[in-house]
Chain A
Amino acid sequence: MSLIIETSDLVKRYARFTAVSGLSLAVPEGAIYGFVGPNGAGKTTTMRVLTTLTRPTEGEARVAGYSVTAHPRAVRRSIGYMPDEFGVYDDMRVWEYLDFFAACYDIPENERRRLIDDLLELVDLTHRREDMVDKLSRGMKQRLSLARTLAHDPEVLILDEPAAGLDPRARVEIRELLVELASMGKSIFFSSHILADVSEICTHIGIIEAGQMVIQGSVADMRAQLTPWREIVVTLADGDAVGEARRLLEGMPRVLETGLLEPEDERARLSVHFDGDDAGVAGLNRALALADIGVLGFQEETKDLESLFMNVTRGVVS
């Protein structure tokens, strides 16, 4: 898969401090890439470099195959950018806002009307077409902003904190919109300081800390990388069978270890660490049944990303 955003050893130094020091990003085409880090980690600076708003001090950044320093206009043509603050003109209607930005992207006047209708429908703002922009709620503004980034049908969306400051409902709406856009073939690169926002919809994640990439990759890879084994929780019907069950399981191939968990509703629970495939997991279950051990529950634990990252980053990412 080719990379839609790529930076190598990106450095951005301001007079007094270094905002980004040696960042190497790799965002594959079609990915929903969550760029996570605490406030002040260098997320916005990186995005400003990628959107040609600021020049990198060192290193190279390419977006959609174009260098941000050598071909900024080509980069601008292929990105839709949403900054963390919503730029409102206080005396504009919703459709005029989109019309203006579409015109800024050289979209001919006779195509704009249909485009605006389509965009408003996509972000579900058709009923607010004639309203003044500054009268919209924050969530609506954010959706309008997203519609604006789509005006020229860019390949990549670069969104700075799209969900910040939204109420839970608006947050869900934005998230759904991002997934829909990804299904339309857009690559999405967005930042957040809240991992929970990211983990649900992202295909790829990068974690930045103090201007450097801590870890990045696809969510599936990362999960595999961070947990070398699968954890299966077995709930037994009969507390006395614990010893027998443990002996049996530990004798099976690819079982690393078993452990006793806190009983739940006075039922004995076993934790099994296993590094085999799905057939192996089924084999474990079958073995327990054949040994006539009563099993109430047999479930693989999926660890949420957050707790995994907490391990990796030693708690630096909140």
Chain B
Amino acid sequence: MTPTRVQLIDEAEELLEPRERALLGIARVLLGGALANGAALALTLLLALAGALRLWPGYFATAQGLLASGLTLAPDTAMAVVMLLLLADGGLLLVLMTGVLAREFWALPGLALLLLVNLAGLLLGGLTLAVVTLAPGAWALALSLREARSFRINPVMRKEFRGRMRGPRSFIVLTVYLGLMSAFTAMLYLVFGSGTVQGTGSAAIGAIGRVLFIGLVSIELLLILFIAPAFTAGAITGEREFGTWDLLQTTLLVRPALLIGKLESALGYILLLLFSSIPLQSIAFLFGGVTLAELVVSFALLSVTAIALGTLGIYFSAHTTRTLTASMRAYTVALGLLFGIPLLLNLPLFNAFVNAASGFGSGISASPVLEAIFVYVGFLLVSLNPVATALVTQQLLADRNVAGLWTLVLSSDGSTIPLVSPWISLVVFYLLISTILVALAVRRMRKVEA
């Protein structure tokens, strides 16, 4: 993203209709808000670092008083909340900016919701930095309300969805998908219900429930890994191959709208698959051993993974001319993300976070600063991988009953550092990555044949 201007629409000096100019103005305000959030995040991060390194003693207490006065948390944890808020706000403002440019119907309610949440944070939690989102957001909302008629259902999404749901194809896919999942569930039940899990009582039955649940979520993850890029890798290249790309380019359809429409239709179908398998997952509840929190977390993980892999496919689709190339690249990155990161997490130093989260101690005792750094590095790596995230989140739920904020005691000097359950950071990161990939894909598409 270049900070100076919105790169996602045709040139600013272009003769735009009043409405287009107004939308561009709204997008600029939102982009400004996103960048302000980014700047605020960088600043708080830098100050937190200074505070943590004892360069500024008492920083966290001061900062909490100023930025998060309403949170009854440890000062450093409160600052972690502030930073997470800034990151999420920045990402969501970018999403809304793209939505406004594409004239998506969800842009307005989405913006209103974001403002409400931030207002709640400001009033209830004393999160003063919510102003960074509230001010540009309110301005953009006021401007958008005047242009409310411009927002509509994306024509590309409508077209794609019509095509996708027509005929027996999509129903066959859904049936086969659910059939396979059911067969898998039955198999898991037969194998684990009869043999391996011995003993009586609710504990053993709960174990069956857990096995079913974990098995289903993993197989869904695997299916998403293969389905999501496949659905989107042909989004742009397919239009080129069909010979409709030129047609679309000569219409007034802006590129964000094309891209988002394609993404919406692909993700809509994947979400349909995910939703339709919730009843199967719920069978696990009959056996117990699975909490509602786990169900919610697993659904969130699966959804954002689908979104991220879907945008990955669309990104490569915009960058290549052939669907095959785009699919191969998307699969390569997706497989690297899913299977490469666990390899990295097994290396010494990089495994600090996983070890610490499992209660074994990070294995670094030389210096608390070094230990904290590697714990955070490991945490970031885990937050990029849905499998690792699911495992660690589950562990935290089981051991500490934590699904949100928690503190880790460093083994080197016994001091504590604030952390969040990795599913939260994964959701934020994946959404942020998706937004950036969409922005990059749009930029790429803007390139007119030289």
Which A residues are within 8 Å of any B CB, using their own CB? 48, 51-55, 66, 70-74, 76-77, 79, 81, 83, 85-89, 91-92, 96, 100-101, 103-106, 109, 148, 152
B449 adjacent to A92 (CB under 8 Å): no
Number of interface residues of B (CB under 8 A): 31
Which of chain A's residues has its CB closest to B155's CB? Answer: A103
Q: Is the CB of B252 within 8 A of A73?
A: yes
Shortest Cβ distance from A158 into B: residue: B250
Chain A residue numbers with a CB within 8 Å of B13 are: 70
Does the CB pair B10–A72 fall under 8 Å? yes
Min CB–CB distance A93 → chain B (angstroms): 9
Closest 6 CB pairs of A and B: A103-B155, A87-B244, A91-B163, A104-B251, A104-B253, A54-B449
Judging by beta carbons under 8 Å apart, are A92 and B162 in contact?
A: yes
**In the complex, what distance in Å separates the CA atom of A71 from the CA atom of B11?**
9
Q: Which residues of the partner chain B approach A148 to less than 8 Å between Cβ atoms?
A: 247
A153 to chain B, nearest CB (A): 13
Q: Is B248's beta carbon under 8 Å from chain A?
A: yes
Q: In the complex, what residue of chain A is closest to B162 when comparing beta carbons?
A: A96
Is there contact, CB below 8 Å, between A79 and B250? yes
A270 to B16, CA, bound (A): 65
A87 — which chain B residues lie within 8 A by C-beta? 242-247
Tell me which of B158, B166, B243 contacts A83 (CB under 8 A).
B243
- Can you name 19 A-B pairs with beta carbons within 8 Å? A48-B449, A51-B246, A66-B15, A73-B14, A73-B15, A73-B20, A74-B15, A87-B244, A87-B246, A88-B244, A89-B242, A96-B159, A101-B247, A101-B251, A103-B155, A104-B155, A104-B251, A105-B251, A148-B247
Q: What is the CA–CA distance of A110 and B16 in the complex, to the nearest angstrom?
A: 24
A72 near B14 (CB under 8 angstroms)? yes
Q: Are A89 and B163 in contact (CB under 8 A)?
A: yes
Q: Are A71 and B14 in contact, with the CB atoms below 8 A?
A: yes
Contact A73 B10 (CB under 8 A): yes
- Identity of the chain B residue whose Cβ is nearest the Cβ of A57 in the assembled complex: B450
In the complex, what residue of chain A is closest to B169 when comparing beta carbons? Answer: A91
Query: Contact mask B158-170 → A, CB, 8 Å, 1/0?
Result: 1100111011000
B272 on interface, CB distance cutoff 8 Å: no
- Bound Cα distance from A307 to B190, whole angstroms: 86
The verdict on A91 contacting B250 (CB below 8 Å), with A54-B448, A74-B14, A103-B155 known, is no
Check A76/B242 contact, CB under 8 A, given A55-B450, A89-B163, A104-B155.
Answer: no
Which residues from chain B contact A86 at a C-beta distance below 8 Å? 243
Chain A neighbourhood of B249, CB < 8 A: 52-53
Minimal Cβ-Cβ distance residue in A for B154:
A103
The CA of A86 and the CA of B10, in the complex, are separated in Å by 26
